[in-house]
């Protein structure tokens, strides 16, 4: 069943109209961002607002129904970033050129790896589509978002 419109509005407003994982701004999208179930429905997650996050299609598809990922530094399985209980800037930062997201903690690194947020020069990602987009957003003054305003209460 689709989520009620009023719930969608609350989710979008709470996320300040950004993807809660990669901070993609909804205003650059031709369609509203999608809603991610933090605990996937297939694993018993509900449609309660505390289980929902605003996510771009790219992040939503890459997260799929994963709740854990491996920290590339330790190879240990680590829970993925939870935008309801954790603060983005505690776990991630932007590279100095504003084009890449860098994981700062095991959770941040595992999430970057699982959701392919880093866009490093690695063989898995010969296209640099998201970095090219971010370059355009930087020039337009849309990026990076003010992460201080993304703090959770």
Structure tokens at 146: 């003010």
Which residue from 11, 56, 101, 110 is in contact with Zn ion, where contact means CB under 5 A?
56
Among residues 1 and 27, whose Cβ is nearest to Zn ion?
A: 27
**Stretch in the footprint of Zn ion (CB under 5 A) among 7-15, 21-29, 94-102, 143-151:** 21-29
Which residue from 24, 81, 88, 92 is in contact with Zn ion, where contact means CB under 5 A?
24
Among residues 11 and 19, whose Cβ is nearest to Zn ion?
A: 19
On whether the CB atoms of residues 78 and 107 are closer than 8 A, the answer is: yes
| Nearest distance from C-beta of residue 21 to Zn ion, angstroms | 5
Residues 58-87 that bind Zn ion (CB under 5 A): 59
Query: Where does 15-152 have alpha helices with state H?
Result: 57-63, 88-91, 106-115, 129-140
Among residues 44 and 124, whose Cβ is nearest to Zn ion?
A: 124
Among residues 21 and 71, whose Cβ is nearest to Zn ion?
A: 21
Can you tell me the distance from the alpha carbon of 39 to that of 5, in angstroms, rounded to the nearest whole number? 21
CA angle, 3 then 47 then 16, to 5°: 70
CA-based nearest residue to 114, from 95, 129, 101, 97 = 101
Positions that interact with Zn ion (CB under 5 A): 19, 21-22, 24, 56, 59
């Amino acid at each position: 069943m689709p989520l009620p419109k009023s719930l969608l509005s609350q989710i979008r407003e709470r996320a300040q109209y950004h993807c809660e994982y990669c901070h993609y701004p909804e205003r650059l999208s031709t369609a509203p961002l999608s809603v991610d179930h933090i605990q996937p429905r297939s694993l018993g997650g509900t449609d309660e607002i505390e289980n929902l996050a605003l996510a771009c299609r790219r992040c939503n598809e890459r997260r799929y129904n994963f709740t854990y990922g491996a920290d590339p530094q330790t190879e240990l399985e680590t829970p993925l970033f939870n935008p309801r209980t954790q603060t983005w800037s505690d776990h991630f930062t932007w590279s100095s050129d504003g084009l890449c997201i860098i994981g700062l903690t095991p959770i941040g690194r595992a999430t970057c790896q699982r959701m392919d947020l880093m866009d490093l020069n690695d063989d898995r990602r010969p296209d640099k589509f998201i970095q090219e987009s971010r370059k355009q957003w930087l020039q337009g003054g849309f990026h990076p978002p003010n992460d201080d305003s993304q703090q959770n209460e």
